[in-house]
Structure 1
Amino acid sequence: MGGQTETSSVPIPADRVDGFDEAYCARPERLLDPAARRSCPAWSLVAPDLERRSTERLRRDLDSGTGHERYGRLRGQLFLDGPLVLVRVLPRAPAGGTGSAARQRLRRHMSGHSPRATVAVAHRR
């Protein structure tokens, strides 16, 4: 991308309602609802039989308290750390010095672009 690159984790609010799987870690019982699962794109890749077995196991874990023992600490968190990262790229000044001519070249170079940074959100791997 050029320039100086910074990355930072994007915290996922635990009360998100638009289908972020990470948010459901704080309220796993929501995943028992087929509509909630459909709002998560990853569930569209899960075979029906595996989805059924997964939700049955989740229900058993919630009913028995096993799920709370393992992951109950997530219920109290306001934000969860997920796979999203913010990538911020600060543009590099064009070659040619730091005087007014260089500033003019930088303005021409950046026309149509944010002079501050290029920002993107990506999944962490």
Structure 2
Amino acid sequence: MRAFLLSALIAVLATSCGGPATPSTTSQSTDSHIDVTAPKVTMVMNPQTLREKGNVFFRLSTQDNVAVSRVVLIIDGQTFVDDPTAYNSYAKYFEAGSNGEHTVTVRVYDLAQNVTEQTQNFNVRIGQ
């Protein structure tokens, strides 16, 4: 009788502690969900035309259904920022040697590597 009670007690404890007889109640929605939604980005540059040496500011508003994981800013084909912290404000200093029209592209990635890209132009006209 003692062996039977001990055996029954072990079976009850094993089941209540998550043994194989316990059905899983944990949802696996994040593990089984595949993120196919690209993040959203809005970029505002200030100033649009730089007339004195100084900074052009690039302010981003980013949004994703999970999380933004990386921001890349490319100015005239050269990577200016590759930020894994996904910060939303950057500045670049320009002098008269940079006069002319410039193109900036922002790429925003989420954790699943979905990407959104936006391109805009700005001008540097120092001393003109």
The answer, yes or no, to whether TM exceeds 0.5 is no
Q: TM-score, normalised on structure 1?
A: 0.23
The structure with higher relative contact order (CA 8 Å, sep 6+) is: 1
**Structure (1 or 2) with the larger CA radius of gyration:** 2
Q: TM-score, normalised on structure 2?
A: 0.23
* Higher strand content, 1 or 2: 2
* Higher helix content, 1 or 2: 1
